[in-house]
Amino acid sequence: MAKESGIGWTTLSVDDASGTARDIRNDITNLDFATPRAVQDVTGIDKSAIERLLLLADFSGTLNGVFNDAVNASHSVLKTVPSTSVPRTLSIGVSGQTLAGEVLITDYPLTRAQGGELTWASPFVLQDGTVPTWS
């Protein structure tokens, strides 16, 4: 496939507290996510450079968006973050590529900027120990 922009995402859904996937793409202004691997330094004194082993995989990031309290929009999905302890399925899809995982959303902070914008930035981390894999 050819190089592409990040315009026109096909999927960005997050489960609400009851486990129902909600498409909140329209409320997301930007996001970041990473799928890093831990490493262990196993360098012996016989080496002149670092030797490492790959360890556990992870998945984390932050969803950033605009406040929207319409039914099944971002506020109705995220407002329960402080009061419920439930994992949520997060699905990201762009250009026919999908990355999904069970995550814990750890905060739902709202910011009212000087210009009047009301926005949020919700961090998430992998919950269930399943290796995040693009499909």
How confident is the model over 79-110, as pLDDT tens digits? 999 999 999 999 999 999 999 999 999 999 99
Closest residue by Cα to residue 77 from 69, 99, 85: 69
* Beta carbons within 8 Å of 119's beta carbon, 6+ residues apart: 29, 64, 65, 66, 67, 110, 111, 113
Cβ atoms of 27 and 68 closer than 8 Å: yes
pTM of the model: 0.91
pLDDT at 1: 61
Please say if the pLDDT value at position 2 is more than 90: no
What is the C-alpha to C-alpha distance for residues 26 and 76, in angstroms, rounded to an integer?
14
pLDDT at 8: 83
Please say if the pLDDT value at position 53 is more than 70: yes
What is the C-alpha to C-alpha distance for residues 129 and 86, in angstroms, rounded to an integer?
15
- Average pLDDT (6-11) is 89
How far, CA to CA in Å, does 12 sit from each of 15, 50, 103, 112, 116? Answer: 10, 39, 14, 24, 26
Q: Which residues pair with 102 in a beta bridge?
A: 89
- Average pLDDT (20-45) is 97
pLDDT at 79: 97
Please say if the pLDDT value at position 21 is more than 90: yes
- Average pLDDT (46-69) is 98
